Structure 1
Amino acid sequence: MAKLKTLIIILFLAVGMQASAQVYRFKATGFSVLEKNEKGKWGDWSPLQKTELIITLDTKKDRIIVYSQEIQLYKIVTYQPEEENDDDLIYGFSCADEEGNPFTISIITRKKQGGRKQLYINQKNVILMYNIENYKDK
């Protein structure tokens, strides 16, 4: 009987953990880049360029994938607490790239801009910004 109770508890925990993990898909409609110059100072944002690519937030596998011409795969190390203020709702992720370099990714909903969503990949010398919307599978 004790073994049955243990099995039920393990099964319950396994199902509960899988129920909380999800995969979110976004469609990027535009992007811009901000880079540091030779002196280490941030330059200007590049002009917004149109794009159509998919971005996946996979909480099951703790990763974010940007399906651009060169696939960008980022491992989520920690999920930062949700932040909210009068202007924005921010979901932050502490990440590492393929070489293990730390950086942050943020998904920001702009409250005063009609709920527009943006994804920022903030690395040491470059920031990528994507305008995103929820992707609906056909």
Structure 2
Amino acid sequence: MKHIQLFLLLLTMGFASQVTAQTFTLRTSSVSYSEKNQIGKWSKWSDFAKADLIITIDGKKNRIVVNSPTIQVFTIKSYGEKTETDKDVITPFECVDNNGSKCNIIVITRKNEGNRMQFYINYSEVKFVYNIYN
């Protein structure tokens, strides 16, 4: 268990600077979503549903793949700057999905929650969050 925690800590510390040259594989446990309504207000997040998936962030190919029942492929157009607060480490990516739609993908490590990781896919009208195994 300590090896896993150490690995996640090192992964978090070097994620943004190293992601352009490496491949990372993440396993999800659950997913939730929120939709924007007709007046532009976001809905409450849905209840988390089980989602045992693999997400691959491939810095060499500038690609993120979410291996859901319908495989989602995102081309990384821009690597954002990693930011760190007292509570979170945030690593953003500007992407285009396999349908040509623009989105932002964000990997957040919750420092005050035992370095729990979440993977966000944010479109203009809908957003998804996947919980990542620790």
**1:31 counterpart residue number:** 31
> 2:34 aligns to what SS in structure 1?
strand
Q: Provide Cα deviations, 1:53-104, integer angstroms capped at 9, x if missing partner.
A: 1000000110110000100000000100110000100111011122433221
**2:108 counterpart residue number:** 108
Q: How does 1:29-68 map to 2 (within 5 A)?
A: 29-68=29-68
User: Scaled by the length of structure 1, what TM-score is found?
Assistant: 0.79
**2:133 counterpart residue number:** 133
Separation in 2, partners of 1:132, 1:65:
15
> 1:112 aligns to what SS in structure 2?
helix
**Structure 1 residues 42 and 73: CA distance shift in structure 2, 3 A:** same
Unaligned runs of 5+ in 2: 1-19
**1:7 counterpart residue number:** none
**1:15 counterpart residue number:** none
Unaligned runs of 5+ in 1: 1-19
Amino acid at match of 1:53: L
Q: Provide Cα deviations, 1:15-53, integer angstroms capped at 9, x if missing partner.
A: xxxxx6211000000110111123322111110111211
What's the RMSD between the two structures over aligned residues? 1.3
Consecutive aligned runs of 4 or more in structure 1 exceeding 6 Å deviation:
none
Separation in 2, partners of 1:21, 1:29:
26
Largest Rg, 1 or 2? 1
Separation in 2, partners of 1:101, 1:31:
20
Separation in 2, partners of 1:114, 1:50:
21
